[in-house]
Amino acid sequence: MIVDFNDVNDLNRYKMMSDTVVPRPIAWIVTEDEGVVNAAPFSYFTPLSSNPATLVVSIGQKEKDVPKDSLANILKHKKATICFVNQNNMEDVKNCASMLPKEQSEIEEYGIETTKVLDDYPPMISSSQTALFCDYYSTVDMPGKTTPVILELKKQFIEEGRLDERSHVHVENLGRSGAHFKAMADV
């Protein structure tokens, strides 16, 4: 079977792509604006390059012509902290998937503990075993309702004991496998 994506609507195209490119990491993208910490879950991102160290995340709209808070905050402040999800915080990330007004923080609404690791970046989710501190690099101008954003990784938090002598990171991140979560530690 050959599927012509020109003949598939946006929602079904997304389903087909997200069920095929698996597993994908699940993480919060934490941003800040006007004292409000936004923690939005994402699974539609992937590493792009190791030199420069970059990744790309596709961020949709909140409503027609209104960017999601994560995108607005990244474009305004040029900073984001990516915190990976594990078994201990899976329910928290599911809660954060609900749409809240921009002036309302998921962190406060759902009682999620954060830690301010670096002064010039948004806080990280305390229960994450690893987090990436990123600067805005660029956006990709494409038609459609999502904006691909390239973020440059500047620093990484790795929980003690999870980085071995050969620079391999051993964490129990969860990934997205279609509509389901999957442990990534052994993948």
Question: In CATH, what number is assigned to the domain containing residue 67?
Answer: 2.30.110.10
Half-sphere exposure of 93 (CA within 13 A, CB side): 27
* Domain annotation covers residue 129: yes
Residue-level pLDDT at 68: 92
* Domain annotation covers residue 40: yes
**Does the model's pTM come out above 0.95?**
no
Residue 11 pLDDT grade (very low, low, confident, very high; cuts 50, 70, 90) = confident
Residue-level pLDDT at 166: 86
Considering its fold, how many domains does the chain have in total? 1
* Domain annotation covers residue 187: no
Q: Judge whether residue 182 has pLDDT over 60.
A: no
* Domain annotation covers residue 128: yes
Distance (Å, whole) CA 111 – CA 125: 11
Q: Please choose, from the candidates 122, 143, 142, 132, the residue with its C-alpha nearest in 3D space to the C-alpha of residue 46.
A: 132
Cβ distance 9 to 61 under 8 Å? no
The per-residue pLDDT for range 47-62, each reduced to its tens digit, is: 888 889 999 999 988 8
Three-state secondary structure of 93-126: HHHCCCCCCCCCCHHHHCCCCEECCCCCCCCEEC
Domain hosting 169: range is: 5-182
